[in-house]
Amino acid sequence: MAGGLVITIVFWNVAKRSHVLSHLACLAQSSSVDVFLLAECIQEISPTINELNGLNQGSYHDETTAPAKVRAITRLSRGAFDHHYTNRHMAIWTLQSSKLEQPEILVAGIHLPSKTAGPNDADQIVAASDLVKELVEIEDRHAHRNTILVGDFNMNPYDDGMTSVAGVHGLMTKELARRQDRRYNNKRYRRFYNPMWGMFGDQTPGPPGSYYWRSSVLHNTHWQMFDQLLFRPSVIDWFDGLQIMEHDGSHTLLGRNSAPDDQYLSDHLPVLFRLDI
């Protein structure tokens, strides 16, 4: 792979709806997407791949070796972007990079269980903790920490499972994330930078969150940021932009209340980010 390449990755929970996938071609065309990471994806994706290839913007293929919670469609060649690892809640791909000392980035696609499926806050911390434990094991096996997490965590950036040292340990500024591993109870905990903190509300461009919760409960922030992107400090410098997509270039992805169109599309909005590698 040549130096100075910008890679565009989109994560989207497509809510097991086949017609959501027809929007991938529009996203690919308008945003030059190299990799789609899809949660809750239906089994049959060859029509989508045919549509993507009909754009004549590269040869897209399914880069998923075995059933996984997150699936990848990419136009990057095998060798440049390879499915490498799967467990119950994540799938990891290796992305080759010319800029890093260790010429590889681990891109982990995540889908953690939703509270509506039974787990409570404590269960979510458990799931996050298990996830990070396995991630650290893989980083150690690869002898680097060039890791990016992206996915539907079914938690907000401020939830305990996302911020706790025992969970994902995602921090709201680059400065906090770049500090040394945090020491707690004689154990060291690696940090993540979570740029989704800066995407909340209406003071930034784009939608106020990635998911809208329609409920009459007393405590409801309405917009949630379940779909998140996190970087280890060693890859922060290659982060080249982030957007929550409300439009695919040709169609809106929003429905009533200017929230994700959960009636016809997905209850989640896609998250697009770029890496200058």
Partner 1 sequence: MSSPIPNLWSPLIRPKVLSPRTILRAQALELPKMTGGLLEADIVESQVTKEGAEEVRTVLSFDIVAPSLNYRHRILSLAYEKDMPYPVFVEAEALGFRSSIFLRAFLNASLAPGERINRADSDEALVLLLKKVFTSSEVLGITQSIIARATDTIEMADLEEQSSIADAERSEGSADAGPGVAGPDEE
- Using the contact rule CB under 8 A, the part of the chain among 33-41, 85-93, 225-233, 262-270 near partner 1 is 85-93
User: How many residues bind partner 1, per CB under 8 A?
Assistant: 25
3 state DSSP class of 263: coil
Ranges of beta strands (E only) in 136-207 are 147-152, 170-171, 182-184, 187-189, 192-193
Residue from 1, 49, 100, 126 touching partner 1 (CB under 8 A): that is 126
- What are the contacts of 250-254 at 24+ separation with CB within 8 A? 250/26, 250/30, 251/23, 251/26, 253/23, 254/207
Provide Rg for the chain, Cα atoms: 18
Residue from 17, 84, 174, 247 touching partner 1 (CB under 8 A): that is 84
* Gap between the Cα atoms of 172 and 230, Å rounded: 10
- Using the contact rule CB under 8 A, the part of the chain among 60-68, 150-158, 213-221, 250-258 near partner 1 is 60-68
* Residue 61 found at the interface with partner 1 (CB under 8 A): no
With a CB cutoff of 8 Å and minimum separation 6, the contacts of 210 are: 224, 225, 226, 227, 228, 244, 260, 268, 269, 271
- Using the contact rule CB under 8 A, the part of the chain among 117-125, 215-223, 226-234, 266-274 near partner 1 is 117-125
Task: Read off the tokens for 48.
Answer: 């989508």
CB 173 to partner 1: min, Å: 28
Residue from 185, 203, 215, 263 touching partner 1 (CB under 8 A): that is 185
Residue from 16, 47, 50, 88 touching partner 1 (CB under 8 A): that is 88
Residue from 121, 137, 237, 240 touching partner 1 (CB under 8 A): that is 137
3 state DSSP class of 150: strand
Binding site for partner 1 (CB under 8 A): 65-67, 82-88, 94, 113, 117-119, 123, 126-127, 129-130, 133-134, 137, 166, 185
